[in-house]
Structure 1
Amino acid sequence: MRRLSLVAMIAVAGLMIPASAQAADGVAGVDVSNWTGDIDWAKVRDAGGRFAFVQATEGVDYRNARFDAQYGGAAAVGLIRSAYHFAQPHETDGAAQADYFVDNGGAWISDGQTLPGVLDVEDNPYKDKNGKNTCYDLSPEDMVTWIRDFTTRYHQRTKRPAIIYTTTSWWKTCTGDSTKFGKNPLWLARWGAEPGELPSGWKKHTFWQSADKGPIVGGQDSFNGTESQLKSLANPPAEVTVSGAAKSRKLYTITLKNTGPHAVTDVRLAGRTFGGQKVVKAGPGCSFSGTAVRCVIPKVNPGHSIRVTIATKPSKARGTVGINVTVGSVKVSLKAR
C-alpha cells in the first residue's frame, strides 16, 4: 500500500486591514490577559499590531473574565488571534486541562483569523502558595508526559497542533530539553534584543516574546515570517491522504482520509484498469464503463475516511493486472498478479 498526500487550498474570507508594520524579527503582535484590562483594539491595529494572544484559561478552574471582550475585540478590527492556556501540571493530567481549554475559548475555528491555541508552560509563579518547585515537582519524564497528553488531546479536539510557549531555560530544566515537540510551533519567551538559544527539538521559533510590556499594549511579540505566512498559519490548506490496496485480481480499494482541519468537498477520483480487466462495480459515488471509472465524493469531514471499492471482471490472461487511479494531482497504481 502506498500513501500519498493531496493538498487543496481552501480560501476563507477575512476582514481587510492596512498593510502591516514589520517588527525587527517579523510581524508585530501583542499578548494580553485579564490583568491588561479593557483594550482599544483599533489603536493596537493602527500602531502596527497584526495579531494577539489572549489568555483564556488556567488549570481547570480559571477562565479570564475579560476573554470574550478581548478575543472578540481583536477579531472585530481584523487582527489574527489565538487563545492561550496557563498550565498547572501538578493539578490534573494534561488531557483534562486541554479539554477545559478547548471548552472555554481555546477551540480553533476555520475563520481565517484564528491561530491554533497555545500551551503556556513556564516557571511555577505560585511557589509560595502551592509549595511546588519551578517544575511543579514533576520529573522531566513526567513533565514530557504531561505536555504530550495536553498536545495530543488538543490535536484530537481541533485537528491543529498546539503552539507551545516556554523559555529555553525552563524547557531544559523541566523537560530535560526534550526533542519530542518540534512539530508544534514554538512561541519563545526571551526578553531582550535577540531570541537567543532555542530549546532542543526546534530549528526556529514561530513567535517571540521579546518583552513583558511593549509599546502597544500587553506583552511585545513578533511572528517570525511575513503577514502572508501568518495568515497561512491561521488558515492552513486542507489535507487528504490517499491510500490504496489490491485485495485480489478483481477487487481494489482506495481510501481517502481527511487528516487536516477543514472539511473537503467535491473530491474527484478517476481510474482505468489495465491487463484486460473491465469494471463491473464501483462505489460509493461512482460511475463506470468498460475499463474506466469516475467517482465524486461530496464531502469528507476532518478525521473521517471514505473507502471506494472497485470490482473488476478478471482477465483470462496471465500476468499483472490492476488499476491506475488519479485523485487531484495524486496518482496511485494498484497491481495484482
Structure 2
Amino acid sequence: MTGVAQAADGVPGVDVSNWTGDIDWQSVATGGAKFAFVQATEGTDYRNPRFEAQHGGAAAAGLIRSAYHFAQPHESGGAAQADYFLQNGGNWVSDGQTLPGVLDIEDNPYQDRNGKNHCYGLSAEDMVTWLKDFTAKYREATGRHAIIYTTTSWWQTCTGNSDKFKSNPLWLARWGSDPGELPKSWKKHTFWQSADKGPLVGGQNSFNGSQSQLESLANPPAEVRVSGQAKSRKTYTVTISNTGPHPVKDVKVSGRTFGGQRVVKAPGCTFSGTAVRCRIDELPRGQKVTFTITTKPAKSKGTVGVYVTVGSVKLTLKAG
C-alpha cells in the first residue's frame, strides 16, 4: 500500500521484519515516514536474514533507524540475549541516524510450541529481573537506555505493572485511535504503534514529539558527572565520569582553596599558591578520572576547603 502517511500523534514511522520482505525505502520516505524499526534478532538463535538490506536501506533513504530484539525470556537470561542482539545489529552507533536499540517484550506468541503461558512461564519478579539484566547490559555496552516495546496489558500482568524502567523510552503497542492507559513505569510514551498495517509498509508508528526531538534521541549530547569529596582538612578528590554515549574531549578542572591554605600536591595538574588546574584531553565513554588535591592549612581549626569548577558545574568541598 502506498500513500502519504499522517501520524496520529507526532512524526510518522514504520516497523518491519523479515516477513515484510523487500522494501522500496525511497517510496517509504516519499510517503512521509521519518524513522524505521527493523527486527534484528530473536532469542539467541535467530537473526533476520534481511536485516542489512532493511536497516541499511532505511538509512540510505534518509530515515532514522533502529534495530529491535524479540525477547524469548524463557530460553536464556536477559544479559545473554542483549549480548546476542548487540553482536547482530543491535549495537548503537553515534552516526546521528541511529536510535537506541529496542527490547520487544510482549505476549508469548508460541504458546502451542513452547507450552508456556502469556508470561513465558516467568513470575512477575523473575520477569523484572530478566528485563533489568537485558537493559543494564545494553546500557553498559552502548551508553544508551534501550527502548522498550510492550503493551499495557502484558506489562501489568507479567511484570506486576513494574515502575522500575522509567529511564527506558516506551514504544507502546496499542492499535486504535489513541494510546490509552500507559504501563506504570511511564508517564508518557515516546513511540506508539497504532496499527499493524496502513498507508506505509509494515506497522504504523508515530514519535511523540518533533522531528528535531527525534534527531536528538538518535544523537544525544555528551553527559559528564562531576563529584567531589573532602577526605580530610588536607586531602580533596574530584571525580569526572563520562556517563553518556560519546567520548568527551578537553575537560578542564579548576580549583581554588579557601580558609587560609595552599596547594602542595596535585598529580596530573598544575598548581601555584591557592590555585590548581587540571585537564583531561579525552575521556572515553564509561570511564572516569579522579584528581587528588593535597593542601597545607595555615591553621589547625576553622572551615577550610576547595572551590571546584568543571564546565558549568561548581562544587564546594569543605572540611571542618
After TM superposition, the score normalised by the length of structure 1 is 0.91
Give the AA of the match of 2:248. V
Partner of 1:135: 119
3-state SS of the aligned residue for 2:266? strand
Structure 1: runs of 5+ lacking an equivalent: 1-19
3-state SS of the aligned residue for 1:70? helix
Offset, 1:24 = 2.5
3-state SS of the aligned residue for 2:171? strand
In structure 2, C-alpha distance between the alignment counterparts of 1:215 and 1:116, rounded to whole Å: 26
RMSD of the alignment, in Å?
A: 1.5
Partner of 1:105: 89
Partner of 1:156: 140
Offset, 1:92 = 0.7
Is the Cα–Cα contact under 8 Å of residues 21 and 49 in structure 1 kept in the other structure?
yes
How far does the alpha carbon of each residue in 1:43-83 deviate from its partner, in whole angstroms, 9 at most, with x for none? 11111110000000000000000001111111122211110
Offset, 1:22 = 6.0
In structure 2, C-alpha distance between the alignment counterparts of 1:108 and 1:177, rounded to whole Å: 28
How far does the alpha carbon of each residue in 1:250-278 deviate from its partner, in whole angstroms, 9 at most, with x for none? 22110001111111110011111112212
Give the AA of the match of 2:207. F
3-state SS of the aligned residue for 2:263? strand
Confirm whether residue 276 of structure 1 aligns to residue 264 of structure 2. no
3-state SS of the aligned residue for 2:112? helix
**Which aligned runs of 4 or more in structure 1 are off by greater than 4 angstroms?**
none
Offset, 1:21 = 7.5
Is the Cα–Cα contact under 8 Å of residues 29 and 61 in structure 2 kept in the other structure?
yes
In structure 1, C-alpha distance between the alignment counterparts of 2:281 and 2:262, rounded to whole Å: 25
Offset, 1:102 = 0.6
Partner of 1:305: 288
Structure 2: runs of 5+ lacking an equivalent: none
Identity %: 74
Give the AA of the match of 1:214. G
How far does the alpha carbon of each residue in 1:177-210 deviate from its partner, in whole angstroms, 9 at most, with x for none? 2222122111000111111111112111100000
Partner of 1:17: none
Give the AA of the match of 2:108. N
Partner of 1:314: 297
Give the AA of the match of 1:105. G
Offset, 1:231 = 0.9
Give the AA of the match of 2:274. T
Give the AA of the match of 1:52. A
| Residue in structure 2 matching 1:202, options 186, 198, 201 | 186
Partner of 1:3: none
Confirm whether residue 329 of structure 1 aligns to residue 309 of structure 2. no
Confirm whether residue 124 of structure 1 aligns to residue 112 of structure 2. no
How far does the alpha carbon of each residue in 1:82-127 deviate from its partner, in whole angstroms, 9 at most, with x for none? 1000011111111111110011110111111111111111111112
Is the Cα–Cα contact under 8 Å of residues 173 and 193 in structure 2 kept in the other structure?
yes
Is the Cα–Cα contact under 8 Å of residues 276 and 317 in structure 1 kept in the other structure?
no
Give the AA of the match of 2:315. V
In structure 1, C-alpha distance between the alignment counterparts of 2:230 and 2:159, rounded to whole Å: 45
Partner of 2:273: 290
Task: Return the structure number with greater relative CO, CA threshold 8 A, min gap 6.
Answer: 1
Is the Cα–Cα contact under 8 Å of residues 145 and 167 in structure 2 kept in the other structure?
yes
Mark the CA change 1:22 to 1:245 in structure 2 (over 3 Å): closer, same or farther. farther
Mark the CA change 1:331 to 1:22 in structure 2 (over 3 Å): closer, same or farther. farther
In structure 2, C-alpha distance between the alignment counterparts of 1:283 and 1:305, rounded to whole Å: 16
In structure 2, C-alpha distance between the alignment counterparts of 1:268 and 1:184, rounded to whole Å: 31
In structure 2, C-alpha distance between the alignment counterparts of 1:275 and 1:128, rounded to whole Å: 74
Partner of 1:28: 12
